[in-house]
Every structure is written in C-alpha cells, then in structure tokens.
Amino acid sequence: MCGTPPWSSAAPTAAGTRGSVTTNRPASSPKPSRNFRGFPRCPATAFSRHSSTWTRRVPGTARGRSAGNPRPGRGRRSGSPRAPRSPSSGSTGAGHGPNSPSSAGSASASPAPLGGAVRNATVSRDGAHWYVSFLVEDGTLTPQRHDNPGSAVGIDRGVAKVVARSDGIFHHQVFAREREVGHAATLQRRLARTQKGSARRRHAAAKLGKALAKVRRRRADFAAKIAHTLTVGFELIVFEALATKNMTAGVAPKPDPGQQGAFLPNGAASKSGLNRSILDKGWHRIELATRSKARYTGTCVITVNPAYTSQTCNVCTVVDRKSRESQAVFRCTSCGHTEHADVNAAKNILTTGRAEHARPRPGVRAGARKPRNRVGRKANRQATAAQGHATASPELAGIPRP
C-alpha cells in the first residue's frame, strides 16, 4: 500500500455531504485527479489493478501514446489489411510495450525458438491477415532407410475420389459445401456489380476472399494429412505425371463454316465444369506436400507416364477402352477381371513405378525427375531437315551408304 492520502486524514477540517456520497477533504487541498473509472491516480493498488484493463481496451496506451477520443472517419474499415510493424520499432502488442506497466522492471521477452538457424523470412498477406514464414536450418538429415523397407503404393488422383491407393484405400473430402458454393457465387455477383476503385468493391472483395480462404485452408490441411500418412507408411510412392495446367485449359471456339461470325457447340460448358472440379481437388498441392514430407522419412517419390493407366487391365495387361464401363467400374473384356476403376489404375501406376525405380540411370538418383528437353522447336526442325536431306542425297561413286 502507499499510505493514507492527504485528503482522507483522520481529523478533517471540512466535511460535506453530496447526495449519498460523503467526502472528507481539507479545504486547502486540491481536488484529486481521477481516471476514467473514478479511481484516484495516487494509490498504487488502483493503478496496478486497472492499468492492465486500460492498456487492453485503449490501444494507444500500450504504444506509449496518449489515448483520446477516436477521430471521426479515421478508424480502420472492416476488411482493410493492417500492415505489419517491424519488431525493431519496439511495439510488441497491447500490454507488452516498452511503456506498459507489466514490462516495467523486467527484461524484454525473447522471441520463441524456431528450432534452428533462420535463413530467411517471407512476409505474406492473406486477406486482412499478415503472416511471416521462416526458413530454418534444423540440421535434420534425410534417413538412409525407411522404417518400412520395401513398402510401395501407387496413387491415382481423380475427381469423384481425390486419392485412390493401390491397396484399395480411398481418401476423400468435400472442401466446399453446397451452401458455401452458393454464398461464394452471390459474393462474386455482388463484386461484379461494383465499380473499380470504390469502397464497396474493397468490402465485397474482402468478404469474397474470406469465404474462399476457408476452402483453401481445408484443401491445404487435407494435403498435409495425406502426405503424412503416405510418407510414414511407404518407402516408394508413385504418382502420375499430370499436367494440370494443360488439363484445365479452355476449349477453342469452333466457327461455323456456313455462317460468318457464328460458332458451333464445342462443349465449353461441360469442360469448364470439369476444370473447376479438377482445380478444386488440389492435385498438385498433394504431390508437393508429399515431396516435402518425404525428406524427413526417407521416402522416394517418383512420377510415371499416365498414358493408358485407366484402360489397362492389371491382371492380363490388355489395353481396351471398352473395359472402362463407367467412372467406378472396370471389367476387362479379355479376362473378365472386375475391380474399381481407380484402384485398377493405381495398381498400373505402381507396376510402372516399380519397373522404373528398379533401373536407375547412371549418375542419377533413383526416382529423380527426368531433365527437361530445352532444345527449341526451330533446332528440332533443322535437325529433322538435315537428316532428311542426308538420306535423300545421291550416293557417292564407289561408296555405298550403309
């Protein structure tokens, strides 16, 4: 305690009654200053009890500034991003600043350990939130041998089922419910009706981004869980080398030769629906997450050519497009083998991956990606033309060509 204040002495010289509140204060003493809750500023107990409440409710006091009434029209609008402050500015949040009562007389809190040496930091913004990602050198080495040596699995990515494994297990999740899809469509129409650069457009874009961020986080969470399950359980994981960008390309228009300026139906509506379904499943994100997790378990992740994997029978290896009766039914026209179409494709992917993994190229790690052919089209045409010219040239006298 701080003792008895001068205006509450035991022998007051003047006493007055105002309503139901009685005050005993010397006539010569000034009127004590009081804070916003009516407590005197002098007693340490009142200060320690209510200073933390003040710093929490009034942001200005936690940053060492006087807290007054907010200016009209200067408040942060909902949905507008707040720029991150540098840690060197000394502002560490409400109740933990350099002028905060809780930090007086104590050392500043050190940052939380990240598990290793920080190599770089990336600042990103997602809607109204800012994030900092640290690249940390944790010193962890890739294991030379997996916990389950010899285990392998083939992965078939689809639309009806996101992930189908060669052992008959499916992994699927609906990332956006029908109600959320309808709400996102309403927000998109609302955004399209706004004028560029207006405040209503910023608010509509913020609401739409918030709705889409939920779906994006669910997709990322699903990919991380699938990657953990696959890398922990299998030493070899085989994916299809899918070109998602090419698979989701738009359909070229089909002009009508009989009428100038008219176009024939080209199936663009159905193709756009398939493109949305493919992009919604996050095929590429699953492969990236699996490759990232594989560094900590010693798993080898490879990709194979996806050609004819859904039309080939895994038992008799006969290729026939009629064997794929529907999306989920595969019945071989040669041997009569019946199985789920996605599981049959995953088994073909695993068979091809094991064959490729068993014959590593000299000087190249098993399972590494093939180098890209960077020879231009012009060089290929020139080489083809030179080869054709050499073949068509007349034979020299006495020297027959082989």
Tens digits of per-residue pLDDT, 294-326? 999 999 999 999 999 999 999 999 999 999 999
pLDDT in tens, 121-136: 999 988 888 999 999 9
pLDDT value of residue 36: 45
Tell me the whole-structure pTM to 2 decimals.
0.62
Average confidence (pLDDT) over 86-107: 41
Percent of the chain with pLDDT over 90: 46
| pLDDT at 386 (0 to 100) | 53
Q: Which residues are catalytic?
A: 156, 240, 342
Confidence band of 293 (pLDDT split at 50, 70, 90): very high
CATH (domain of 150)? 3.30.420
**pLDDT tens for each residue of 339-349:** 999 999 999 99
Query: What pLDDT, on a 0 to 100 scale, did the predictor assign at position 193?
Result: 96
Query: Residue 122 domain-assigned?
Result: no
- Mean per-residue pLDDT over the chain, rounded: 75
Q: What is the pLDDT of residue 114?
A: 81
In a domain, 344, yes or no: yes
In this structure, is residue 294 part of a structural domain? yes
Residues 226-253, mean pLDDT to the nearest whole number? 93
For residue 355, give every residue at least 6 positions away whose Cβ sits within 8 Å of its Cβ, in sequence order, or none: none
Q: Which domain range does residue 334 map to? A: 142-173+215-251+267-370
Q: Is 279 part of any domain?
A: yes
For the segment 370-398, the average pLDDT, to the nearest whole number, is 50
Least confident of 133-137, 244-248, 357-361: 357-361
User: Tens of pLDDT along 177-203?
Assistant: 999 999 999 999 999 999 999 999 999
Has residue 262 been placed in a domain?
Answer: no
- Residue 278 lies inside a defined structural domain of this protein: yes
Does 363 score more than 80 pLDDT? no
Residue 325 included in any domain: yes
Q: Is residue 137 part of a domain?
A: no
Q: How many domains does the chain have?
A: 1
Alpha carbon of 248 to those of 251, 273, 274, 362: distances in Å? 9, 10, 8, 36
